[in-house]
Each structure stands twice: as structure tokens, then as C-alpha cells.
Structure 1
């Protein structure tokens, strides 16, 4: 049996109710997903600086030992980076985001796949962030009284939002299409004029607060 053959509709745990249609579906681009979701650039920089400090500190006493020690630290740092890169690739390949006329559905999980439904009534705002690698993230803020499970959705969440998790449709290769579909669906759900999702180009985990599409 192929992966996800048991799904009645690709990316969904059950068939859509009558009148509900799929507006957009997409998956993360695995390399940007892994780099940002697991903060691999920061991890690599940490081990590189640690190795540089070790070499610099021991160079006068014994240059050969200092150099070998620095190389060992680099090799030690490469192990978790490679493992997390592989995990990120698996996570991206098993992820599928779906936008319907009524909700967002996130199929996530590697060992234990699950689907998380986020109805439009639970969404306070949605922000678009464009990244320098050409992908983008759509970040969701939920209404008071609605809370996403941090453990169920990680790493599809904004960093350091543990007390009030904010789901993220992360590393989308064609973000504008997804953002347009979501903005139109949120506006239709709230009976409001359509407002586009915009964002500044940044790889930081801080959204510039542009126009937000919100559902009441």
C-alpha cells in the first residue's frame, strides 16, 4: 500500500461535506523547510564558532592538536545537522497543506501522521512572509479561546510561541497562489472585502505586520 492510500481525499481524513470545496493544496519545499524549521544555519554557526575558538585558544600551545580538535568539533556538529536535515526532508515530504472554503487542514507528522483542522472562525489574522530563497510562509494567529497543540503541529509553528502557538504553512514554493486563495476564502467567510496578504522579504521569524486577512 502506498503512503496515504487510506485517505479518501488526498490530504484529508474524510470526504468534504457537501458544499465545501478545495481551493488550494501544497507542500513545503523540503530544503528551506529543514533549514528554517530546525534552525540549521544557527546550529552550523554555533559549531563553527566553537571550533574556531578551540583552535585559536590552543594554537600557541600546540597548533596540530588545536587544529585536530577543531576538526573534531566540526565533525561532531555535522552529525546532528545531517540528521535534522534528513528529518526535515521526511517531514516536508509527508506534509500537505489544504485550504478549503471553510478551513485550513494541515496533514503533518512522520512516524505518526495526523490531520489538524483550523476553521476560519478560529483564525484572527494571517500574515505572509516572503523569504530570500523564493519560498514563503503563511502565519496564522488564532482567536482567543482557540489554541493549537504545540506538540501536534511542531515544527509547523512559529518559534518561541509556546504559550500561544501560531500555526505556519511553512516554506511554500508558490506562496502568492496560496495567500490569494486564503485571503479570498477568509473574506468570503467573514463577508468582508478581500484584502491581500503581504510581507517583507526576510528569513527572520518575525512577521512585518502588513495587511492581514481576518475572519471574525
Structure 2
């Protein structure tokens, strides 16, 4: 594993002088189940199918019970996938960047410098958690599928890193850190020195 030996959990290397961790956490697995694997919609679909099987499918109670048994198995699989995805993910906010370490089979570590974040959009996910998507000032170097599911849905042409199912208490910390960054200055510097690739971290 690329990040099997982490000097600091969730980070590919030790922090340089002048950088410190502000917040670190993992996604809420129930939020991942709802937002990524759409467990609620799957459950509703199975209930509808079971209803049709009971009323009009010709199989009556037996068909409905079989459908619900399959539903329970399917939802259990989604729950396992959601827990694995959440457990393998660590989000880190420092005074310089946001770091996303994720991946069950093939771990990745992605750095998003705060000074290169143009805006942060928040989507409530229920139960005190939110999804936070970051819009870079420059084109993000990784493709949508490379970042999934930690990417804003449907933004295939211009991927936006997303922190999934984080607590609302994270928002003021991120807002304060972004306010202290200088996006315009950093964007010019990145363009001049070709530092866009610095958004993608490599193992130290």
C-alpha cells in the first residue's frame, strides 16, 4: 500500500515548518451510505417492488418476503461498502491546505492548497453533517473517476474535490483558514511557476 506507513495518519509525510493541523476527521459512514451509495433510494425501490409483488405480481406474500430478503442483503452490502469507504478516508485541514487521503484498495493522497481554492460550497446532508466541495482557481489535475467519490457529482469536465459527510463544526474552521489565504496572489504564482501539479500530493 502506498500509504501503509504514514508518519502522521492521513498525511504522506511530516508537515513542513510553519504548517500545523487545524482539523482532522473521517466521513460519517451513514452519510456516505445515503449520499454516495443512495441507500435510501435503494430501500424505497425495494419497498415499491415488494408492494407490486404482493398486490399484482401473482406471488403474494411469498414474493414480497423474498423481495425484502434480497433488499436486506443488498442494503447490508451497501452498508459494508460505505463503512469501508469511510474508514479508509481521512480529511485533514491545515493552515496551508486540505488533504484528502482515501481509497480502499488503491489509496491516494491529494493536496488542495487553500490559496488555490476560489470558493467552498456546502450541501447539508442531514443529522448535523454536510458535504463541502472546493472549487479550484485553476484546473484540477485529476480526473473525475480518480477522485470518486470525493468529488462533486456531475462535474465531469471540471472536477471539484469534495469532503463527504463532515460535521458542521468543520465549516467555521475551514472558513477561517480560507479567509487567511490569498487566492489571487497564489494563483498568479502558481501560473508563473507551473505549480498546479502541487495540488496532487505524492508520498514522501
- TM interval, shorter chain, is 0.7 to 0.9
Report the alpha carbon displacement of residue 104 of structure 1 after superposing the two structures with TM: 0.7
**Structure 1: where are the runs of 5+ without partners?**
193-216
Is 1:128 the counterpart of 2:122? The answer is: yes
Matching residue of 1:188: 180
Matching residue of 2:197: none
The answer on whether the counterparts of 1:35 and 1:85 sit within 8 Å (CA) in structure 2 is no
> Normalising by the residue count of structure 1, what TM-score does the alignment of the two structures yield?
0.75
User: Map of 1:10-159 to 2, 5 A cutoff?
Assistant: 10-58=9-57, 62=58, 65-159=59-153
Report the alpha carbon displacement of residue 157 of structure 1 after superposing the two structures with TM: 2.4
Cα deviation, 1:76-102, whole Å, max 9, x if unaligned, reads: 233222111111111111211011122
> Normalising by the residue count of structure 2, what TM-score does the alignment of the two structures yield?
0.79
Relative to structure 1, is the Cα distance of residues 114 and 191 closer, same or farther in structure 2, using a 3 angstrom cutoff? closer
Query: How many pairs does the alignment contain?
Result: 182
User: Map of 1:195-210 to 2, 5 A cutoff?
Assistant: none
Matching residue of 2:164: 170
Bigger RCO of structures 1 and 2 (CA < 8 A, at least 6 apart): 2
The answer on whether the counterparts of 1:139 and 1:167 sit within 8 Å (CA) in structure 2 is yes
Runs of 4+ deviating beyond 3 Å: none
